[in-house]
Amino acid sequence: MSNILRLVLVLLFDSYQPFFIAVRCLYILGAWLLLTKSGLAGWWSLIPWVREYQLGRCAAREPEGRGFCIASMLITLLQVANICFEWMQASHTLQSFAPLILVILFAVMLMHFVYNIRVFAGFIEVYGVSRWWIVFGIFDELRFVPMLIWGLGKKYQPGWKVEDLKAEMKRLATHGSAAVLDEGLTVNLKDRHVKEFFRKKYLLKDIHMAIPQGHMVLLLGGSGAGKTTFLNAVNGYEKADAKVTLNGNDMYSDYKKMKYDVGFVPQQENMRNKDTVERTLLDAAKLRLSKDISKEDRLKRVQDVMDIFGLTPVKGHLVEKLSGGQKKRLSISMEFLSNPSLFILDEPDSGLDGVMARELFEQLRGIADTGKIVIVITHTPDRVIDLFDDVIVLAKDSSRTGRLAFYGSIEDARKFFGRQKMEEIVKSVNQKEEGGDGLADEFVLKYAEVQHG
């Protein structure tokens, strides 16, 4: 067999041996059937490497599908390189790299095996079959067996279809948006995406809500649901395809002016340990307050904020000498200097015990009661849930896009999800591989239908 023919066969079938080519043809046929059942074009199965990515999408494992695609491509390229070396009768120098090539091949094959198993496990969940089917996924030569059985068997139907879900989400997204509030926060976010793997990767989609002044709002969502991305889109730090208004003012077009009307307290504290509390706030005031404010007024604002957060008794203490609770209050105080209308906090209770966390959230409740909007991310919401007015629940759908699964009062959230605790709500929308119930799509669609009739 000529080397050119071997190259062509390897590129098309990952092998030039008749037995493995026959097995690969059956695998391609099985892929065609599964892609078709999931609402995708079957001809994707004819394209090497892309086929593995599309299978990952059908198995509700798009990230793993990307890895599966890359690993498959690398294995093919290594085989092609091997044939080329033989063809060119590689020199002794090239042959000395053989051990390194073997190590790389082993690493790539291990990566291929891991991603293959993850995608195969996804198909087991999507088709609702017994876990023992995973045995077929372990061996490349046997993968085509369940693929043909699931693809041809009428009793085997996928729990969801890629294009059906996409079409349904698109249909629901076309219904209106949140009415802009003159006093409050309005978010009409079409999408937030990045370019990844030769296509748009949507981080967030179709999030619409209006939050009145004086509300303290809990932001819930599992890992990767897009909570931080959502907050960054709201405060204008990472602009999305969205219309965000605060008290009638556009956050994006008026960003230079509006950024001082938003306070954002990140999870990580950004303070110099060797500065005193008062010096830390004075330095922050120079950044957060208008340049037109006099030195006396700036000092008075610092004094007022220290009084509000109980920091006056320790104003001369070094930051490194403060307790965990005092450091949190200082971090919040730095953002509160500008007297923002919207106050956003990312896990402000991280590292605090129950009593200290309660005191902190009571202070935040007091801030909301002055007519401000306070949005908080916390991983222990149930211990302070009585202090919140509303809850936002973000969830990753099957395509790994963050969507709005609910926005409303705490009691309405309990009725909507059929769960009493907020942590149980998060578990319900988390994916099964993350220890959740895997009901994100169900609740996203349910909420969209409730909102849009």
Task: Give the DSSP letter string of 89-125.
Answer: T--HHHHTTHHHHHHHHHHHHHHHHHHHHHHHHHHHH
Q: How far is CA 151 from the centre of its chain?
A: 31
What is the C-alpha R_g of the chain? Answer: 28
User: Do β-strands 216-220 and 373-377 pair in parallel, antiparallel, or remain unpaired?
Assistant: parallel
* 154 in Cβ contact with 37 (< 8 Å): no
- Domain 167-452, CATH number (from 2.60.40.10, 3.30.1330.50, 3.40.50.300, 3.30.413.10): 3.40.50.300
* Tokens linked to 228: 């931080």
Closest CA to 384 of 345, 344, 354: 354
Long-range contacts of 169-176 (CB under 8 A, 24+ apart): 169/205, 169/206, 169/397, 169/403, 169/444, 169/445, 169/448, 172/206, 172/445, 172/448, 172/449, 172/452, 173/205, 173/206, 173/448, 175/448, 175/451, 175/452, 175/453, 176/208, 176/452
Along the 453 residues of the chain, how does pLDDT read in single tens digits? 566 776 677 677 777 678 888 888 999 999 999 999 988 889 999 998 889 999 998 888 888 888 999 988 888 887 777 767 666 655 555 556 667 767 887 888 899 899 999 999 999 988 989 989 999 988 888 889 999 999 999 899 987 677 555 555 555 554 557 787 788 999 999 989 887 665 677 889 999 999 999 999 999 998 788 999 999 999 888 889 999 999 988 988 887 778 788 988 887 777 888 899 999 999 988 888 877 888 888 899 999 999 988 899 999 999 889 888 888 889 989 989 988 999 999 888 887 787 888 888 999 999 999 999 999 999 889 999 999 999 999 998 877 889 999 999 999 999 999 999 999 999 999 987 778 888 888 899 889 888 765
Which amino acid is residue 217, in one-letter code? V
**Residue extents of the structural domains in the chain:** 3-158, 167-452
CB atoms within 10 A of CB 42: 17
336 Cβ contact partners less than 8 Å away, ≥ 6 residues apart = 263, 305, 308, 309, 343, 367
What is the predicted pLDDT for the residue at 92? 55
| 274 φ/ψ angles, rounded to the nearest 5 degrees | -90, 0
Going from the C-alpha of 64 to that of each of 68, 120, 290, 402, the distances in angstroms are 6, 10, 49, 18
* Tokens linked to 167: 């079409």
What is the predicted pLDDT for the residue at 171? 54
* Tokens linked to 73: 């491509």
What is the predicted pLDDT for the residue at 174? 47
What is the predicted pLDDT for the residue at 170? 57
Token pair 């999030």 in the structure block, residue:
207
